[in-house]
Amino acid sequence: MDPREQLQEHELAQAGKSETDINNIEDNFQTPIFVSWRNAHMSVDMLRIVQKLTKNKQGRMRILMEYKAPVLYFFSYVTYLSK
């Protein structure tokens, strides 16, 4: 089989797939997931406070390490490296 025809068939299959996906997404939009904006705002603010407090402060970042917060420690370390 000609590879170009194969490619065309593949593209057509992909297009069909994407159409069905879009339909599925539209179906999913009818029942949206609930997100409590208040808790989201609170957690984002908490992250910003922790980031502000531990920026360029080695001892404070060590507090994060001692209390086993690998994710938070990772983010503050990345911001420290990117400077």
Q: Minimum Å distance from CB 58 to another protein?
A: 13
Interaction of residue 63 with another protein, rule CB under 8 A? yes
Burial class (CB in 10 A: 0-12, 13-18, 19+), 32: exposed
CB 19 within 8 A of CB 41: no
Site string for another protein, 15-54 (x = CB under 8 A): ------------------xxxx-xxxxxx-xxxxxx-xxx
> Contact positions toward another protein, by CB under 8 A?
33-36, 38-43, 45-50, 52-54, 60, 63-64, 67, 69, 71-72
